[in-house]
Chain A
Amino acid sequence: MAKVLVFIDNPGQALKKSGLELLTIARALGDTAVAVNGPLNDDVAAALGAHGAAAIFRPSSDDLDAYLVGPKAAFLAGVVAASGATTVLLENSFDGKEIAARLGIKLGAGVITDVVGVDPDGTAHKSVLAGSYTTTARATTAVSVLTVKPNSVTPEPAGAAASPEVLTVDVPESASAGAARITGRTDKPASGRPDLTEARIVVAGGRGVDGDFGPVEELADALGAAVGASRAATDAGWIGHDAQVGQTGKTVSPQLYISAGISGAIQQKAGMQTAKVIVAVNKDAESPVFEIADFGIIGDLFQVLPQATEEIKKRKG
Chain B
Amino acid sequence: MKIIVLVKHVPDAQLDRHLSAEDNTTDRADSILSELDEYALEAALQLVEARGGAKAGNQVIALSMGPAGAVNAIKKSLQIGATEGVHLRDDALAGSDAAATSLALAAAVRHLGSDSPVDLVLTGMASTDGETSLVPAQLAERLGLPQVTFASELEVDGGRVIARRDSDTHYDTIEAPLPAVVSVTDQINEPRFPNFKGIIAAKRKTITTLSLAEIGVDPAQVGKAGSWTAVQTAAPRPPRTAGTIITDEGDAGIKLVEFLAAQKLL
Which of B135, B165, B247, B265 gathers the greatest number of chain A CB atoms within 10 Å? B265
Given contacts A100-B134, A299-B247, contact A256 B260 (CB under 8 A): yes
Say whether A279 contacts B146, CB under 8 Å: no
User: Which of A130, A293, A308 makes the CB contact (< 8 A) with B243?
Assistant: A293
Given contacts A94-B150, A297-B255, A303-B248, contact A196 B168 (CB under 8 A): yes
Say whether A277 contacts B14, CB under 8 Å: no
Q: Does A273 contact B (CB under 8 A)?
A: yes
Say whether B240 contacts A273, CB under 8 Å: yes
CA distance A281 to B167 in the complex (A): 30
Which of chain B's residues 226-266 have a Cβ closer than 8 Å to chain A?
227-237, 240, 242-248, 250-257, 259-261, 263, 265-266
Interface string of A175-216 (1 = CB under 8 A from B): 000111111111110100001100001000000000000000
- Please provide the 4 A-B residue pairs with the shortest distance between their CB atoms, ordered closest to farther: A307-B253, A299-B248, A110-B228, A101-B137
Q: Does A62 contact B (CB under 8 A)?
A: no
* A residues at B contact (CB < 8 Å): 68-70, 73, 93-95, 97-98, 100-102, 104-106, 108-114, 123, 127-141, 178-188, 190, 195-196, 201, 223, 241-242, 247-248, 255-256, 266-267, 270, 273-274, 277-279, 281, 285, 290-300, 303-312, 315-316
CA distance A296 to B247 in the complex (A): 8
Give the secondary structure class of B's interface: mixed
* B residues at A contact (CB < 8 Å): 11, 13-14, 16-19, 24, 26, 35-36, 97-99, 102, 125, 128-129, 131-138, 140-142, 144-150, 165-177, 180, 186-187, 227-237, 240, 242-248, 250-257, 259-261, 263, 265-266
**New A-B contacts (18) at CB < 8 Å, excluding given A185-B172, A187-B170, A188-B170:** A94-B133, A94-B150, A98-B133, A102-B138, A105-B141, A110-B229, A111-B229, A129-B11, A132-B16, A133-B19, A135-B24, A178-B176, A183-B174, A279-B256, A295-B243, A297-B247, A299-B252, A308-B257
Say whether B172 contacts A184, CB under 8 Å: yes
Residues of A within 8 A of B245 (CB): 285, 290, 293, 295-298
CA distance A297 to B150 in the complex (A): 37
With both chains docked as a complex, state the minimum distance between the C-beta of A235 and any C-beta of chain B, in angstroms. 9
Instruction: Show 16 A/B contacts (Cβ-Cβ < 8 Å), sorted by A.
Output: A69-B147, A94-B133, A105-B142, A111-B99, A112-B229, A133-B19, A133-B237, A135-B24, A186-B171, A196-B168, A241-B187, A266-B13, A303-B248, A308-B257, A311-B254, A312-B266
Say whether A296 contacts B141, CB under 8 Å: no
Given contacts A105-B138, A108-B228, contact A293 B253 (CB under 8 A): no
CA distance A190 to B169 in the complex (A): 7
CA distance A241 to B150 in the complex (A): 13
CA distance A180 to B19 in the complex (A): 37
Say whether A132 contacts B169, CB under 8 Å: no
With both chains docked as a complex, state the minimum distance between the C-beta of A87 and any C-beta of chain B, in angstroms. 13
